[in-house]
A = this chain, B = another copy of it.
Amino acid sequence: MKYCSHCGSPHLRITVPEGDTHPRQVCQDCRTIHYHNPKVVTGCLPVWEDRVLLCRRAIEPAYGWWNVPSGYLENGESVADGARREVREEAAAEVEIDYLITLYNIERINQVYLQFVGLLVDGVYGVGPESLECRLFTEKEIPWNDIAFTSSKFTLRNYFRDRRTNGKTLFRGSYPDEGTPIR
């Protein structure tokens, strides 16, 4: 933020407001305190029989790489609704949310990933406008070296772990502690 979004002033200063514990951008003219907070990335891994649905990204970043359908949570929607919307946008598919598998933090870029496992309704999918292609993969077919984000790898690896133990676990991690950086 270079200008105060409340009054347009360029006189922003980073300072700890009275009673606060963190430095904030504070407008020296209108005194507005500007808070900047992490964003939620919500997504869902669609499952059909022994396979999972991945989408090859048609947008940057990571154009051409495979991904678990995910994106920023929008104002006015729940985390689960956002996950369903992302599956629609990327894979033209409907999912029934099963369980939350991933709480994954990337503190460096202020992102919190919340990813569900969902049942791909009727096994039907297409290719959404944000994807080059979509495909169902068995565990052995997963293109581990072409997965777009560590969050996707985290979710995929844990999903197959769950599958072997018949579990429905929530895995919690922070980049790069429990995720493997792949890019």
A contact residues vs B (CB 8 Å cutoff): 1-10, 19, 21-22, 35-40, 59, 72-80, 89, 99-100, 103, 105, 107-108, 110, 112, 114, 129, 170, 172, 174
Closest to A71 in B: B21
Residues from chain B with a CB closer than 8 A to the CB of A74 are 22, 37-38
| Minimum CB distance partner of A41 in chain B | B37
Instruction: Using A6-B2, A40-B37 as known contacts, say yes or no to A79 and B105 having CB atoms under 8 A apart.
Output: yes
B172 near A170 with CB under 8 A, answer no
Residue in A2, A4, A112, A174 with the greatest tally of chain B CB atoms within 10 Å:
A112
- Complex contact B21–A89 (CB within 8 A): yes
Look across to chain B and name the residue whose beta carbon is closest to the beta carbon of A114: B103
